Amino acid sequence: MNKTIVDKYFDLSEYQREKIYQLIDVYSFWNQKVNLISRKDFQYFYERHVLHSLSICKVFSFHLGTNIMDLGTGGGFPGIPLAIMFPDVNFYLVDSITKKTDVVANIVKDLKLKNVTILNQRAENIDDQFHFIFVRAVARLDKLISWTKDKICDEHNHDFQNGLICLKGGDLKDEIANIHFPVLQYQISDFFQEDFFIEKKIIYLSK
């Protein structure tokens, strides 16, 4: 559980480093109460969960006041690590499983993150709109597009368009073949050396 793996790839501020390093203690405590991360996987906490989440920072940077939904946040990834990296951005962590959102709310409270809101909802029941929606391996792309098409606002405040940003792995040819507009892919192995990232990708679908 190497905390410094994040320092290897990012020049962290004092605030960011303090919060990133604090993650392991907070997650260790809450993961014993609700199994958000398997015990087998927990030894790779910083590589497979924190660093994986932060790969988005290698492609995108977000301005003050941006509203982002983390759909199907599960244990709070990628939302919580990214909320630490972008303290001026508003993150809304959404999951339909109450047990998970209750624990993630406690994790956010322990980390004293002021820019995170927890929503125990299904995506289709959320009426708000967001500049960006993040998803980490929740469903196929066509389903994600269907769930989120009315949730992305038209008001752009970046050089790149609002849209859906997904963390996915494996062979995505079949999924992408069903999408009838441009899909940008970024290989995470271009940013991080660890073998875990060899087949991992960031998928970006602009509005």
Per-residue model confidence (pLDDT) at position 114: 97
Domains of the chain, each with CATH number or no CATH:
5-206 (3.40.50.150)
What pLDDT digit, counting tens, does each position of 62-115 carry? 999 999 999 999 999 999 999 999 999 999 999 999 999 999 999 999 999 999
What pLDDT digit, counting tens, does each position of 46-65 carry? 999 999 999 999 999 999 99
**Cβ atoms of residues 190 and 128 within 8 Å:** no
What residue ranges in the chain does DSSP mark as E strands?
67-71, 90-95, 116-120, 132-136, 163-169, 184-187, 200-206
**What CA–CA distance (Å, rounded) separates 198 from 114?**
34
What pLDDT digit, counting tens, does each position of 135-181 carry? 997 788 888 888 888 999 998 889 999 999 999 998 888 889 888 88
Per-residue model confidence (pLDDT) at position 125: 87
What token pair was written down for 48?
């497979």
